[in-house]
Structure 1
């Protein structure tokens, strides 16, 4: 039996579809030509007919029932609701036609069910089975996505065709259900089979009508340096939404949200998660109607969007992911983590350890020489660091040299005064020290003071006749223009093909204003935002096709473009420009709702911190950053021998435990938002090993007793728990567990476990009674617990 037969059951006589994997079910039905959702939630057994779920309740609204005997359209839980047909809630599709009408009537015409999962042309998307990445034949910025349909039983895909007879438009709704995860991927492909062009003004990737509104909605909000803070409120009548109009997913609102039943927490309760595999403008909203039903929609933001679709052309929406959990928010997060690692990121990097790096930015900013870089690299090598990253300031020549943020962007040639041997020369010298070499780019931007701008001022996004806003003395290149993408690709390729560059930090520090595309006519101006991000994706694909071993870290003025779309190309993203350890507790905690530890760029930086002025111990900074992709941003030449030795111990510790930190299941134990305490842990898939980060943010005088309760362990197993006040491999530690740390064998330790001491506790005790952490330190203190199962003789 094929996967689609196992995961997608079809009753052809009744035209009903049941997608299920024993974790989640989605049941679709065709009711008088309209595709409706009868049920989405916890898995239910198959039955021949779910028609009893069609809502026949009476509502006084517009209807065509008198003429056609239809159900009242507003009472149906539609999968593809249209504008102007009697359903007065938000539509999933709006099409402007040549006569000015926006009315369409999409009705069912057929379906296909296949094993595996088709790729989306020109867009990132999840995959199933064997990954066929961008190296497999990318032809150019407008060429097809290289990944092809994967025929594999890891997923099955149902494609349902709906057609509007008057315009000849066909909407193909694609549903992929994964065999092992309670996740359904949803996208829409719109094809113009008519004789006239139309304009697509709105096309939601996902529409889900739920029968009630008894949910809380958690959005992830913030700004630069304080990204992705959870904000939760009950659903209420009307519309509540998060969106972006900045040309990027942005730091202010994240293209992800959680709808949870009241009372749901980390360990119990029902919840849905929505995530957009897209990096541009988005709209995510929940609309509650007068009858307490909820409509969820996620897609490209329709504001400023208008896509001209000629006869014979198609438009593909980005992919939206719908996750489900019957066991709380923690389980929902771990589901999305596995989707990212096993079905989104390039497996070349997804579960492979990344090099521990040092970035020179906070050590030197723009003020550096080759000698200074090499001095930093030698000290980093002594500490065990594996990769040296040269950040901003290495490029531009003469009057356009990048010595500050006023010049040089767009001129991707080495500054000979700073790098006499060019990029190849400094890379060779760094390699000779024993480190890999990485390089910073900001491919999408240009300074007015640059050779590129002087040669091609028309390559900047700007509105004719109007002054352009400027930020950081830079402008946005028009990546909707293939000539621009070609040029930037050629410049980056010239460097990467002649220098041994193992890593690229891809930055993006400015949002799009004065939106106008001088290469296209008036009827195409609504396409720029989307064409721009397609150009970004095309450049990613072309670079990775040419350099398949290249590790790219995404960055956008910190975490301003931290989304599933970028993760398809960059397996790690700089989580925030705020490197303060206390602030990072909140930022990484919120980010973990959808993204795994290994996706979060996290570095130990200088103190006092450059963003907050706060001073924290090196031990605290390391204990926070290790729950991410680990690295350093500091001037090692200013540290004493004791601090350099501690960094060496941190590097050794992280290198040893990185597989557990990155491949383990993440459990959030204490939220940091009360500014008092925080805790989290990762547990190996076999539940034999765990590592816990336990943090004091602000101390409390005469504090009450406190215990941190662990999760994810085997109840009846015995575990040795070793307490550490800093990242340091305990004496006698062996590769397969703690062997020689001091222990209280009889288990008589009372109160917090002393530094360097081990105790033996059962999994049940650790999860239900917990570890006493009342007095583990003052302000800005951390304690690490290594938890290792003891095999009985």
Structure 2
């Protein structure tokens, strides 16, 4: 009864607009612990007056100051909820529009707002704004996920002017955050060195994170960040906002310190080369910007996003995943049916669920024997696969495992039948030399005919092979020489390419709702929650060196859960197979090795590790992540996953530096356990012929002891990776 009354009061507060002064309204968008509060003044100007901890007494939102003034706001809209360009604005706009009559300004005033419960624990608030001089409207959407403390925000623009208007900037979100200081952690990299963090203090002016690559938008700079308020970000201490844009194309995220020393945050599609012409009566909807506020450090922010993603975004986020053996490093392009069927038996012997056939299985006129030909010609290569994919599917199933394939359906090789037949389907400039990225070009997915072709490729393969069980969807090229031969609005290309991709994926998911799909883009070139609406998992990096992967997986984990992160054991790096296996186990584990080259102990270890993984994977996939020792700051990396009931945990520790006598020289404090429960600790993945110093002890420890005094996993140069299972003692 108490819980029911609490929820009723909570939802009532979320739906209320409070009036503290005549003509003023306060709209509270609330989750369990967070509030975003919008003030509407007597003139109808909507401004943000709070983003942070939710107040216990919702009526007190009406007492919030106008904008944390530390000086004069000449415009009165520094903290606008959606800043329009032109008129009285002096700062970076969220919206820039040229009206049908050429007027290059906008003025947005509050009309009304609506709040509704759209799902269990999900409340949607819509704020309607209108230009008082033009039939031009903006709707701001705030979807508040109560239990996960995540807000999803997006914008819709529409008008009924006599002629089209030109949208020159159209952000998804415009936030306003007062604090004393601001520390931004953003991530950068390149192929095989993704997600390198860099924390910087924000100073007066504008800091921009963006991309103009079209596809593989994350190659240099992912659309995800951590923003610490008042002090640098720590794992379990301090105020942190984690944000990420759910868009698989060009994006722009701006951080502006305004003249009052407050922070303005704008996020959305990059308007670069993307002016959008909006016809009367049509709507333009931006992608969603996702963010969560934590006053308990980076750890709580990432746990919020993980819970949200598993429950509300990633397909089968609460379900199962398949372990697989990939043939790429075993064969590259050089294979035939005999080689592949032998690998099926290796996969069964190892103990995986599925065999994945990678690049090189298709094209006949221009056979796919290297990366220079064949993309776009998605028929089985008759020389390599004379009996077709159906034969391989049946042979794999006869061997006791499932079968999946690699596709790159958005791309075309210049040397292909598709390019010869449909040169107008290819993104390229007229009267310019073609530039190739990985010897290929990008198909124009803004073209509905190309969308139908790409859908037909995938649907045709699945229709002919209904038990095919997995698709790895790759995207290796960026967009050079951006131009569409068929789009009547060339400046729409970057936007409508991504929209076209989503249309294809919507159709596929409608017909194949449970098919496992891996999101790959030359590694982690397209990892965002726009794409992860359709893909069950993603490939973080082509770099599978065990040591490098600790850092790469660590940094992805701030935004994406373990169940979606594909980690494969390969021959990259010089670490022993135990180390590589232990690292891969921190997510969705798989293999890309030559099983026949494993010695007796390596094979026995790998078989046992897969059995262990099958037993403990739910704790890793569904548990809360606690980072204990950062590889960025220590010669040791340590983290743990704790089950929701706090009765089980998996604890991973690795030596990442090789200085003399480095390792876990002292106990490590655990996190996330129940202080009142008793726990037993046992080492997993012990290599054949070795003994664990930990398993000799049958001691039982309280959660309070493990989180206050800690436990030493005894990591050193001889034990460079240690996996411990922490289990509630009966």
Partner Cα separation in structure 1 for residue 61 and residue 532 of structure 2: 40
Say which of 494, 499, 519 aligns to 2:486. Answer: 519
Aligned partner of 2:96 in structure 1 is 94
Say which of 645, 670, 682 aligns to 1:710. Answer: 670
Partner Cα separation in structure 1 for residue 383 and residue 551 of structure 2: 41
Aligned partner of 1:783 in structure 2 is 722
Say which of 47, 51, 74 aligns to 1:40. Answer: 51
Say which of 419, 425, 436 aligns to 2:385. Answer: 419
Say which of 442, 459, 481 aligns to 2:408. Answer: 442
Say which of 719, 726, 734 aligns to 2:686. Answer: 726
Q: How does 1:52-201 map to 2 (within 5 A)?
A: 52-55=64-67, 72-74=75-77, 76-116=78-118, 152-201=119-168
Aligned partner of 2:4 in structure 1 is none
- With over 3 angstroms needed to count, the CA separation of the structure-2 counterparts of 1:56 and 1:319, relative to structure 1, is closer
Do the aligned partners of 2:360 and 2:368 also contact (CA within 8 Å) in 1? yes
Give the TM-score normalised by the residue count of structure 2: 0.94
**Residue 31 (structure 2) pairs with residue 29 (structure 1):** no
Which moves more between the two structures, 40-49 or 503-512? 40-49
Q: Deviations over 1:418-448 (max 9, x none)?
A: 1111111111111111111101000110001
- With over 3 angstroms needed to count, the CA separation of the structure-2 counterparts of 1:102 and 1:306, relative to structure 1, is same
Aligned partner of 2:500 in structure 1 is 535
Q: Can you give the 5+ residue segments of structure 2 that lack an aligned partner in the other structure?
A: 1-7
Q: How does 1:202-601 map to 2 (within 5 A)?
A: 202-248=169-215, 249-261=217-229, 262-346=231-315, 349-398=316-365, 400-499=366-465, 500-521=467-488, 524-601=489-566
Partner Cα separation in structure 1 for residue 387 and residue 308 of structure 2: 43
Say which of 652, 658, 682 aligns to 2:617. Answer: 658
Give 1:565 deviation, angstroms: 1.1
Give 1:88 deviation, angstroms: 1.6
The CA RMSD measured in Å over matched residues stands at 2.1
Partner Cα separation in structure 1 for residue 165 and residue 699 of structure 2: 70
- With over 3 angstroms needed to count, the CA separation of the structure-2 counterparts of 1:30 and 1:358, relative to structure 1, is same
- DSSP 3-state at the match of 2:530: helix
Do the aligned partners of 1:725 and 1:782 also contact (CA within 8 Å) in 2? no
Partner Cα separation in structure 2 for residue 432 and residue 417 of structure 1: 23
Partner Cα separation in structure 2 for residue 395 and residue 480 of structure 1: 25
Do the aligned partners of 2:409 and 2:457 also contact (CA within 8 Å) in 1? no
Which moves more between the two structures, 51-60 or 400-409? 51-60
Say which of 569, 574, 580 aligns to 1:604. Answer: 569
Which moves more between the two structures, 51-60 or 448-457? 51-60
Partner Cα separation in structure 2 for residue 756 and residue 199 of structure 1: 72
Say which of 618, 622, 627 aligns to 1:668. Answer: 627
Aligned partner of 1:127 in structure 2 is none
Partner Cα separation in structure 2 for residue 491 and residue 570 of structure 1: 17
Q: Deviations over 1:52-103 (max 9, x none)?
A: 52249585676xxxxxxxxx324x4111111123322110000023444321
Which moves more between the two structures, 91-100 or 432-441? 91-100
Say which of 15, 18, 23 aligns to 1:8. Answer: 15
Partner Cα separation in structure 2 for residue 496 and residue 673 of structure 1: 44
Give the TM-score normalised by the residue count of structure 1: 0.87
Do the aligned partners of 2:310 and 2:317 also contact (CA within 8 Å) in 1? yes
Give 1:218 deviation, angstroms: 0.8
- DSSP 3-state at the match of 1:678: strand
Q: How does 1:675-686 map to 2 (within 5 A)?
A: 676-686=635-645
Partner Cα separation in structure 1 for residue 504 and residue 460 of structure 2: 14
**Residue 722 (structure 2) pairs with residue 763 (structure 1):** no
- DSSP 3-state at the match of 1:680: strand
Q: How does 1:634-649 map to 2 (within 5 A)?
A: 634-649=593-608
Partner Cα separation in structure 2 for residue 635 and residue 725 of structure 1: 20
Partner Cα separation in structure 2 for residue 52 and residue 431 of structure 1: 64
Say which of 609, 625, 639 aligns to 2:584. Answer: 625
Give 1:321 deviation, angstroms: 1.2
Do the aligned partners of 1:23 and 1:181 also contact (CA within 8 Å) in 2? no
Do the aligned partners of 2:31 and 2:150 also contact (CA within 8 Å) in 1? no
- DSSP 3-state at the match of 1:38: strand
What is the aligned length? 714
- DSSP 3-state at the match of 2:222: strand
Q: Deviations over 1:486-531 (max 9, x none)?
A: 012112211111112110000000111111111123xx22211110
Do the aligned partners of 2:100 and 2:161 also contact (CA within 8 Å) in 1? no
Do the aligned partners of 1:753 and 1:772 also contact (CA within 8 Å) in 2? no
Do the aligned partners of 1:412 and 1:492 also contact (CA within 8 Å) in 2? no
Partner Cα separation in structure 2 for residue 422 and residue 92 of structure 1: 52
Do the aligned partners of 1:2 and 1:115 also contact (CA within 8 Å) in 2? no
Aligned partner of 1:134 in structure 2 is none
- With over 3 angstroms needed to count, the CA separation of the structure-2 counterparts of 1:775 and 1:405, relative to structure 1, is closer
Q: Deviations over 1:507-557 (max 9, x none)?
A: 000111111111123xx2221111001111111121222222211000000
Do the aligned partners of 2:313 and 2:532 also contact (CA within 8 Å) in 1? yes
- With over 3 angstroms needed to count, the CA separation of the structure-2 counterparts of 1:674 and 1:3, relative to structure 1, is closer
Give 1:755 deviation, angstroms: 5.5
- DSSP 3-state at the match of 2:676: coil
Do the aligned partners of 2:363 and 2:381 also contact (CA within 8 Å) in 1? yes
Partner Cα separation in structure 2 for residue 693 and residue 772 of structure 1: 12
Aligned partner of 1:121 in structure 2 is none
Q: Can you give the 5+ residue segments of structure 1 that lack an aligned partner in the other structure?
A: 63-71, 117-151, 731-741, 743-751
